[in-house]
Amino acid sequence: MSPDRKPRKRRGAGARRQALRAVPSADPGPPYNVLWHPEAVAEREASWPADEIAAIEHAVEKLRQIGPRLRHPHSSAVQGETGRALRELRPRAGRSRWRPIYRRVRPDTFVILAVGQEAQIDQAGFQSAVVRA
């Protein structure tokens, strides 16, 4: 190092964490709003077996509490060009055959747009739900 240059001060891990905390987040935090599209409500009432209702409502509650941080196995991105920006809610950590299809419409709001059967059980039914969403 040249004599006219001063050594740089190193910032410790604590200073880096403090700098990260200072960055404002666009995420408002829980609880998040989860709304049902009217057509999804009709699908829910027509197609959900009685024993699945509690599991799906529990998954919706997780979405309300965790929001965009809800990850696999409780939520997954819908694959394919048609499903871009859509996610599927996976009740019972993916062991349910029903998949509410949703998307985030505002930083604090998700909308469930359609309900379909799991893709491995009924590929055509799942794709139909994605198209409806």
Q: Say if 84 falls within a structural domain.
A: yes
Chain-centroid distance, C-alpha 47: 22
Q: Say if 72 falls within a structural domain.
A: yes
For residues 25 and 100, what is the distance between their CA atoms, to the nearest angstrom?
Answer: 28
CATH of the domain at 52: 3.30.2310.20
Q: Say if 17 falls within a structural domain.
A: no
| Domain tally, the chain | 1
Burial class of 106 by CB neighbour count within 10 A (0 to 12, 13 to 18, 19+) = exposed
Q: Say if 122 falls within a structural domain.
A: yes
pTM of the predicted protein model: 0.74
Q: Say if CB 133 and CB 101 are below 8 A apart.
A: yes
> pLDDT, tens digit, for every residue of 74-85?
999 898 887 788
- Token readout for 81 is 């060009």
Three-class DSSP category at 106 = strand
Pure H helices in the chain: 13-21, 38-47, 50-66, 123-132
- The pLDDT value recorded for residue 7 is 62
Q: Is beta strand 109-117 parallel, antiparallel or unpaired with respect to 33-36?
A: parallel
Q: Say if 21 falls within a structural domain.
A: no
Q: Say if 44 falls within a structural domain.
A: yes
Sorting pLDDT into bands at 50, 70 and 90, what band is 19?
very low
Q: Say if 86 falls within a structural domain.
A: yes
Structural domain range at position 65: 28-132
Q: In this structure, what DSSP letter does residue 5 have? A: S
> pLDDT, tens digit, for every residue of 77-129?
898 887 788 999 999 988 888 889 999 999 999 999 998 888 888 888 878 88
Q: Say if 35 falls within a structural domain.
A: yes
Q: Using CA atoms in the order 57, 59, 64, 70, what is the torsion angle rounded to 10 degrees?
A: -170
